[in-house]
Amino acid sequence: MPTYAAPQDKVRDRVLDAACELFAARGINTTGVDLIAEVAGVSKRSLYQRFASKDDLIAAYLPVATDRFLNDLIPPADAGLSPVESILRVFTASQRASLDPGFGGCPVLNASAEIRDATHPLRSAAVAYKDRLQEWFAAHAEAAGATDPVLLAEQLAILFDGAMSYTSVRARPIPDSVYVTARALLTAQGLPLPAEQPAPAAS
């Protein structure tokens, strides 16, 4: 369930839904507040009652977009997977997602490429997302018995970002080499690997 708004604030939800759709399709800088309000089916006055500026809306949008993005890639705790299998699932799920021509890539990387101002409120949301993913990798690496779970988590996070940049810039699916590299990083930490292979993807 979305956690970005109180259940009773349907207007805020609709605005954020519209922002997610439009920012992914058109970009942040080329999408105006007028269009967001129109797609959300709300007045600009209602929008500005909830977000003081477009910058505030962008900062609120990013956690929503990243939650949805990560929920599609990170397996749930009750999936019945080992920590190593869970880590690898992130990369196989990313690869499968990238096969979809409509896959928009990582919303944080996309937003950061458009907004370079280090003082923009988006930046704190972007850092929080990156910390969350790296901490997830670290927790699973530690549970798996990695020699250095912090180092492994950093390596996996960098690999993940590289894969997302690759598919966004080249408009091609994530290659199998990313999954192979993830396995190699786990092996280097002395972790036993499952036998399954990633989903086929164009390289």
Question: What is this structure's pTM?
Answer: 0.83
Measured distance CA(80)–CA(87) in Å, rounded: 13
| pLDDT value of position 199 | 53
| pLDDT value of position 75 | 93
| pLDDT value of position 203 | 45
Mean pLDDT of successive 10-residue stretches along the chain, which has 203 residues:
57 95 91 96 94 92 91 91 96 95 87 84 83 95 97 98 92 94 97 72 48
Measured distance CA(176)–CA(202) in Å, rounded: 8
End-to-end CA gap in the chain: 35
CA 38 centroid distance within chain: 26
- Report which of 24, 30, 26, 33 is spatially closest to residue 54, judged by C-alpha positions: 33
**Does domain 54-188 correspond to CATH entry 3.40.50.2000?**
no
> What is the residue-wise DSSP string for 55-109?
HHHHHHHHHHHHHHHHHHHSPPTTS---HHHHHHHHHHHHHHHHTSTT----HHH
